[in-house]
Amino acid sequence: MIRLCKSAGLKPPQMFESDLFFKIIFFKPVSKQTSTTPQLPGTTRQKLPATTRQKLAATTRQLPDTSLKQFDSYPEKAKKIIEFIQETPYITRKELASNLAITENGVKYHIKNLTHDGIIKRVDNHWIIC
């Protein structure tokens, strides 16, 4: 497997052994994104079913770039959270923490304040900007 990965130009797999099982991690080839849409690290873009897209479009209000001025009283990290949620409503707290280079508790703090103020809310498994 290692030889095949190297011949294909891939990173060698990582192998781990536990008591009753073992785990092998294979790495995908790194490709350059040609899309102009920003992709957040650690997220994947998936095609949603039409009904889900319609529900999401009906409940999510996209903010124009200039409307972030209404959040001037919020800390910079909170504004960034709003921007990330705009781009990727299905983003997790862990992904937000990674993208903002803060702890998950830091993200939790900002999300608590934004939720309390009625700026964002969590519905099912995605965020909505109110």
Higher pLDDT, 111 or 49: 111
Question: How far is 44 from 70, CA to CA, in rounded Å?
Answer: 30
- Please tell me the least confidently modeled range out of 54-63, 98-107, 121-130: 54-63
13 contacts 1 by C-beta, under 8 angstroms: yes
> Domains in the chain, ordered, with CATH?
1-28 (no CATH), 61-129 (1.10.10.10)
Rounded to two decimals, the pTM is: 0.48
Quickly list H helices, 46-92: 50-59, 76-87
pLDDT score of 35 more than 50: no
